[in-house]
A and B are shown apart, each in its own frame.
Chain A
């Protein structure tokens, strides 16, 4: 059983740039959720993709967007980066069933300078 993998592990960008983060879901999982974890805080829900469609979104602006591919891998795109976007971005996959547990990747640490 392969786990959730995220790339890159670390990334440094400057304000105003755009970034794409990638996630490969665990084998057999069709649902991917993205979370933002600021330093010293709990993860905050960004959005979820189920079978290639967005299925719920948290309180994040439209410059946060995503995609899910037919193999259920996913991308998170952030445009017009701001300093406050500096955080650990976590991807979690699941089977999409009610109350199935989330399997998190180790995250991408994004620093915006």
Chain B
């Protein structure tokens, strides 16, 4: 299975700061790139997703930046809040559907007051 490499493994950000998580993928057949948020004891929940025909997508405080030529994408969380403390997973999916996602290894984000 082609990998999706995610960094950093863990991240501590002060309240109000910008959290940035990076991912790189190998499979050029990927056509759908979601970010999932997971709280302890819960399953992942979709946060935001992008297709490679755009370079950026913004939803509220969450922005995905996408660089197709570099095969990289990143999640930016503006004005980070303690409630954003969770584990974040990037993923890539094939162009014929998103169910068969390949996930990154996750980033544990902690927002401190």
Q: Which residues of A contact B (CB under 8 A)?
A: 4, 31, 33, 35, 40-45, 48, 56, 58-59, 90, 92, 94, 96, 98-102, 104-107
Contact = CB atoms under 8 A, between A and B. Distances in A.
Contacts of B97: 96, 98-99
How many chain B residues sit at the interface, stated as a range, is 20 to 34
17 contacts: A40-B105, A40-B106, A42-B89, A43-B89, A45-B100, A58-B100, A96-B99, A98-B97, A98-B98, A99-B51, A99-B93, A101-B46, A101-B49, A102-B46, A102-B98, A106-B41, A106-B43
Contacts of A98: 96-98
Interface in B61-113: 89, 91, 93, 96-106
B106 A4 contact: no
A14 B89 CA distance: 31
A18 B6 CA distance: 34
Given A48-B100, A94-B99, A41 B105 contact: yes
Contacts of A101: 34, 46, 49, 98
